[in-house]
Amino acid sequence: MSDLLSHPFLSRRNIVQELDKIPYIIIDIETTGLYPEKSEIIEIGAIKTDGLNAVDVFTTLIEPEAEIPKEIEALTGISQEMTLGKPRAKQALSELLSFIKNDVLVAHNSDFDIPFIKHHLQKHLKKDISNKALCTMKIARAVVPGIKSYKLHTLAEHLGVQVMNRHRAMGDAETTYHVWTKLIEVLSSKDIKTLEKAERFMQPAQI
């Protein structure tokens, strides 16, 4: 049998991606509604890590095409005036693409955030992403049973993570980041230490 080390393009396939060493993008968005086809993204917050350590951030408000609904303003605190003069979706999403590159995405309730981002990338840039994605909600349901609710703030409080600036993209991204580092510890204690094993919790939802 030939030595895999002499064929780097083959040996790369055998590299084990350890959860505490993978570059991640912890991401959260605020939107004008629940449905990507009818709603806009008005804020993005993202944290880049080199494993467990945060190394960079990306955050921006986005000036929407339509008026921000009053109930969204009441929930997020983001007013129409706050978004005036901020980047439009096309510019903000282009900058987001440059920030996330091919890193693994981590979101709380990724079935909301990721399809929303994908829809608007197609709409404004005619582009798609194929990044792997992990959902802290799905993983927590599997490995931290018995919580009355798996909403971000409830899970965070259960794990001893301080919740600040709720319903703002950067605040929720920061909370998700701390929750994810706690979940990595829980996963490790259950001998789930690689991306491949963690990805099993994402089935059948993949991006």
Note the pLDDT tens digit of each residue in 77-104: 999 999 999 999 999 999 999 999 999 9
Closest of 169, 135, 145 to residue 57, by C-alpha: 169
pLDDT of residue 180 exceeding 80, the answer is yes
pLDDT of residue 12 exceeding 50, the answer is no
Phi-psi region of 23 (alpha: psi -120 to 50; beta: other; left: phi over 0): beta
Mean pLDDT (whole number) for 168-195: 97
Catalytic residue ranges: 167
Residues of the chain with pLDDT > 70: what percent? 90
The 3-class secondary structure across 58-75, one letter per residue, is EEEECCCCCCCCHHHHHH
pLDDT of residue 15: 59
Note the pLDDT tens digit of each residue in 53-85: 999 999 999 999 999 999 999 999 999 999 999
Comparing 176 with 13, the larger pLDDT belongs to: 176
Residue 87 has what DSSP assignment? Answer: P
Q: List, in order of start, the domains of the chain with CATH numbers.
A: 18-202 (3.30.420.10)
What is the C-alpha separation between 155 and 108, in angstroms, rounded? 10
Residues of the chain with pLDDT > 90: what percent? 88
pLDDT of residue 183: 98
Mean pLDDT (whole number) for 127-154: 95
| pTM recorded for the entire structure | 0.89
Q: What is the mean pLDDT of the chain?
A: 91
pLDDT of residue 11 exceeding 90, the answer is no
